[in-house]
Amino acid sequence: MSQNELRDQKGSKLNILQALRIKGSMSRIELTRLTGLSRATISISIAELIDCGLVYETDNRLSTKGRPATALELVPNSRIILGADLDNKTWTLGAFDLLGNTVKTMKIPVHTFEPEATFKALAGEIASFVQQLDKAPVPMLGLGVPGLVDVHHRCIRSAADLDWHQVDAAALLEQHIGWPTVVVNRHRARGLTECRYGAGQQFNNMIYIGVGMGIAAGLYIDRQLLSGSLGGAGEIGHTTIEPSGPLCPCGNHGCLQALAAGPAIEQEFRKLVRSSELDQSNPYRHMDLQFLKVQDVCAAAEEGDELAVQVIHRAASYLGISMANLLNTFNPEAIILGGTVPNASSLFAETATKVMRQKAMRPLAVDTIVRTSLFKDNGGALGAANFAFDKHISISVFN
The answer to whether the beta carbons of residues 242 and 254 sit under 8 Å apart is yes
Is 2's pLDDT higher than 50?
no
What is the pairing mode between strands 334-338 and 148-149? unpaired
Say which amino acid occupies 83.
G
Say which amino acid occupies 334.
A
If we measure between CA atoms, which residue out of 107, 2, 384 comes closest to residue 218? 384
Residues listed for the chain: 399
Mean pLDDT of all residues in the chain?
91
- The reported pLDDT for the residue numbered 133 is 97
Say which amino acid occupies 105.
T
- The reported pLDDT for the residue numbered 218 is 96
Identify the H or E element spanning 91. Answer: strand 90-97
Is 178's pLDDT higher than 50?
yes
If we measure between CA atoms, which residue out of 243, 245, 269 comes closest to residue 258? 245
The answer to whether the beta carbons of residues 149 and 183 sit under 8 Å apart is yes
pLDDT in tens, 242-298: 999 999 988 999 999 999 999 999 999 999 888 876 655 566 666 677 889 999 999
Q: What is the pTM of this model?
A: 0.90
Q: Rounded to whole angstroms, how far apart are CA atoms 197 and 94?
A: 15
The answer to whether the beta carbons of residues 175 and 181 sit under 8 Å apart is no
Q: Rounded to whole angstroms, how far apart are CA atoms 166 and 86?
A: 17
The answer to whether the beta carbons of residues 133 and 74 sit under 8 Å apart is no
Segment 1-27 mean pLDDT? 78
In sequence order, the β-bridge partners of residue 218 are 208
Give domain 201-372's CATH superfamily: ATPase, nucleotide binding domain (3.30.420.40)
- pLDDT band (50, 70, 90) for residue 397: confident
Q: List every span in the chain annotated with CATH 1.10.10.10.
A: 3-74
- The reported pLDDT for the residue numbered 290 is 81
CATH code, residues 80-192+378-398: 3.30.420.40
Topology of domain 3-74, CATH: Arc Repressor Mutant, subunit A (1.10.10)
Is 151's pLDDT higher than 60?
yes
Alpha-carbon torsion, ordered 280, 262, 312, 348, to 10 deg: -130
The three-state secondary structure class of 210 is strand
Q: Rounded to whole angstroms, how far apart are CA atoms 356 and 76?
A: 39
Alpha-carbon torsion, ordered 301, 302, 304, 306, to 10 deg: 10
If we measure between CA atoms, which residue out of 317, 331, 319, 324 comes closest to residue 367? 331
Q: List every span in the chain annotated with CATH 3.30.420.40.
A: 80-192+378-398, 201-372
Is 342's pLDDT higher than 50?
yes
Is 1's pLDDT higher than 50?
no
- pLDDT band (50, 70, 90) for residue 68: low
